[in-house]
């Protein structure tokens, strides 16, 4: 039997334990998955526990996706490029860092056949999730990406990426408006990072939040007849990819669709 877990500081609302148990059930895998919440100062002890107890792998969520890196033996190319790890594989007595958020974000586009090449996007936020979104969009041919920060002067503009502040947003237009901030997350469900004046200027809204299922940000988009997607696909996509790494398997699209359908109902009941 394999044993996995989740590293984070506050995990009481995480759907990852339910998600992984359902994946193992559908695949007929004997495995257990447990959340491990701990304070930042205990990272060294947490990693030592993975080694000592022969835990087969752990997922890593905020705020540890970067701070866990110095404790690892190896990193795959993508995790190294993003400087962010959300999946640790314990193999041959080594801890190997992976990033499966990238694949998870891509599932949002793959399931809807949304195109990226030649499009223009605006990304709200500059945190760890934003780095993943930025890399995915650039890798898949986005024509231009504007990243919105409270302190855009900290960043340097490039040919394809420019930075701005929230006060300048009303002048921007584009194909995709993507929220990678926690604004609007449960229990602050009435909050939105931008208002309808900004949202009106974009064709499609993506919110990486999945609880609530329809954030205020997406609700405004529905009212304005925009295409929308929440972060549930990303959550499930990254979890599926983590299991594929740990169990050295390929999970079929039909199972992914079953997982999404299940948790769409689950989130609807919770919120």
Q: Please say whether the beta carbons of 138 and 161 come within 8 A.
A: yes
The pairs formed by 135-143 with CB atoms below 8 angstroms and a separation of 24 or more are 135/81, 135/82, 135/102, 136/102, 136/105, 136/106, 140/106, 140/109, 140/116, 141/116, 141/117, 142/116, 142/117, 143/117, 143/118, 143/119
Alpha helices in the chain (DSSP H): 16-27, 43-52, 77-82, 101-112, 128-139, 196-199, 216-223, 232-247, 253-270
- Nearest Cα neighbor of 43 from 70, 17, 16 is 70
- Nearest Cα neighbor of 27 from 266, 260, 250, 267 is 250
Q: Please say whether the beta carbons of 92 and 125 come within 8 A.
A: no
* Pairing between β-strand 202-207 and β-strand 174-179 as defined by DSSP bridges: parallel
Residue 111's φ and ψ, nearest 5 degrees, are -70, -25
Which of helix, strand or coil describes residue 54? coil
Of the candidates 26, 65, 94, 160, the residue annotated as catalytic is 65
Active site residue 65: yes
Angstrom distance (rounded) from CA 140 to CA 118: 9
Residues classed as catalytic? 65
């Amino acid at each position: 039997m394999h044993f996995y877990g989740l590293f984070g500081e506050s995990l009481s609302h995480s759907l990852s334990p339910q998600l992984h148990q359902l994946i193992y059930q559908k695949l007929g895998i004997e495995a257990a998955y447990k959340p491990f919440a701990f304070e930042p100062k205990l990272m060294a002890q947490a990693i030592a526990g993975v080694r000592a107890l022969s835990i087969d792998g752990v997922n890593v969520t905020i705020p540890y996706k970067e701070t866990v890196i110095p404790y690892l033996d190896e990193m795959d190319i993508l995790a190294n490029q993003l400087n962010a790890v959300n999946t640790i594989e314990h193999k041959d007595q080594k801890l190997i860092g992976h990033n499966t958020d990238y694949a998870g974000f891509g599932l949002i586009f793959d399931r809807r056949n949304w195109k990226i090449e030649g499009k223009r996007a605006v990304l709200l936020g500059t945190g760890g999730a934003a780095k993943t979104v930025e890399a995915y969009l650039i890798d898949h041919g986005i024509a231009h990406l504007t990243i919105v920060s409270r302190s855009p002067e900290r960043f340097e503009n490039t040919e394809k990426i420019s930075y701005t502040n929230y006060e300048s947003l009303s002048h921007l237009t584009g194909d995709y408006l993507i929220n990678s901030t926690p604004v609007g997350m449960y229990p602050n469900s009435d909050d939105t990072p931008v208002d309808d004046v900004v949202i009106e200027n974009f064709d499609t809204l993506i919110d990486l939040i999945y609880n609530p299922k329809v954030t205020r940000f997406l609700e405004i988009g529905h009212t304005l007849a925009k295409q929308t997607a929440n972060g549930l696909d990303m959550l499930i996509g990254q979890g599926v990819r983590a299991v594929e790494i740990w169990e050295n398997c390929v999970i079929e699209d039909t199972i992914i669709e079953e997982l999404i359908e299940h948790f769409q109902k689950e989130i609807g009941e919770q919120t």
